[in-house]
Amino acid sequence: MPATIIDGKQVSASIREELTAKVEGLKAERGLTPGIGVVLVGEDPASQSYVKSKEKTAESLGIYSKTIRVPAETSEEDVLRLVREFNSDPKIHGILVQLPLPPHINENSVIFAIDPKKDVDGFHPVNIGRLHIGEDCYVPCTPAGIIELIERTGVELKGKNAVVVGRSNIVGKPVAMLLLSRHSTVTICHSRTRDLAAECRRGDILVAAVGKARMITADMIKPGAVVIDVGVNRIEGGKLVGDVDFEGALDVASAITPVPGGVGPMTIAMLMKNTVLAAERSLK
Ligand code: GUN
């Protein structure tokens, strides 16, 4: 039987529906409109397109959004100033600085400048630290979306072997921590892993977050595994494909996320969820 296709569009739509109701409630009962401030430096087409989607989604949910677009040559000091302005703006509950930043700007300096209480990306060391010790925090959006997809599919994580391919700060490391906190036995693989195929084949859950088109082939997947594909790669001819050979994996996995339409739509939904949470917490 071919794998069940995990529909990220559908799951994210139901999260957006829940959020719309919550935002309406906050406005009506507390006079509060959740707000997100976005900083976009430069003209990278992928970043521009992500930021536009974030603005559109915020608007459709009734969330106030303010995006500041500045040229690629903007100094680090000027970007830090924009972050600080958002930090002290009471209409802004969540702040997102779109990554990557141009090479003359130190990404960590900018991330460290975000008020951890407004860090809806969950990239500030305070939130990363809290995630590691199991305290309340803002969970990075893509990892949070991955867990939401797995859990809403009805898959039990406790005691399972989860294999994460990729060790980025944005996806690989935090998703590994979330899987661990849900009692999976977690392996993190990367470019220096010996016999990647053998490691992957141990995964009841396999998360691919590498950024290489179709590098996870059917022979690397354990029969019956749940496969989460985080990759978004444009191949010759303009088609978008994931890190997993989707067609091949369909015959081996029990469930798999497509690209596009899997993890992608979840990321923005979780960003909006974090922003609404930040607004709610600002009342306390
Ligand atoms: N660039 C790619 N993914 C992300 C993300 O989740 N947040 C931010 N700020 N930038 C990104």
Catalytic site residues? Answer: 54, 98, 121
Ligand 1 atom at shortest distance from the alpha carbon of 99: 10
3-state helix, strand, coil in the chain (%, to 5): 45, 15, 40
| Structure confidence at residue 1 (pLDDT) | 85
Task: Give every residue of the chain whose pLDDT is below 70, as ranges.
Answer: none
Expressed in angstroms and rounded, the spacing between residue 217 Cα and the centre of ligand 1 is 27
Ligand 1 atom at shortest distance from the alpha carbon of 267: 6
Most informative mutation of 95, 121, 123, 146 for ligand 1 (most atoms within 8 A of CB)? 121
Angle between the 263-282 and 45-61 helix axes, to the nearest 10 degrees? 50
| Structure confidence at residue 242 (pLDDT) | 98
Which H/E stretch holds residue 240?
Answer: strand 240-241
Which residues are CB-neighbours of 74 under 8 A, at least 6 positions away?
41, 105
| Structure confidence at residue 30 (pLDDT) | 98
Expressed in angstroms and rounded, the spacing between residue 99 Cα and the centre of ligand 1 is 5
Predicted confidence (pLDDT) per residue in 219-243, tens digit = 999 999 999 999 999 999 999 999 9
Most informative mutation of 41, 50, 275 for ligand 1 (most atoms within 8 A of CB)? 50
Both tokens assigned to 234: 């444009």
Taking the C-alpha atoms of residue 247 and residue 225, their distance in angstroms, rounded to an integer, is 15
Taking the C-alpha atoms of residue 170 and residue 128, their distance in angstroms, rounded to an integer, is 10
Q: For ligand 1, say whether the CB of 101 is within 6 Å of any of its atoms.
A: no
Q: Cα 157–20–123 angle (5° rounding)?
A: 55
pTM: 0.96
What structural domains and CATH numbers belong to the chain? 31-115 (3.40.50.10860), 141-264 (3.40.50.720)
Both tokens assigned to 50: 């992500």
Output the 3-class SS for 10-68: HHHHHHHHHHHHHHHHHHHHHCCCCEEEEEEECCCHHHHHHHHHHHHHHHHHCCEEEEE
Burial (CB count within 10 angstroms: exposed 0-12, middle 13-18, buried 19+), residue 128: buried
| Structure confidence at residue 167 (pLDDT) | 98
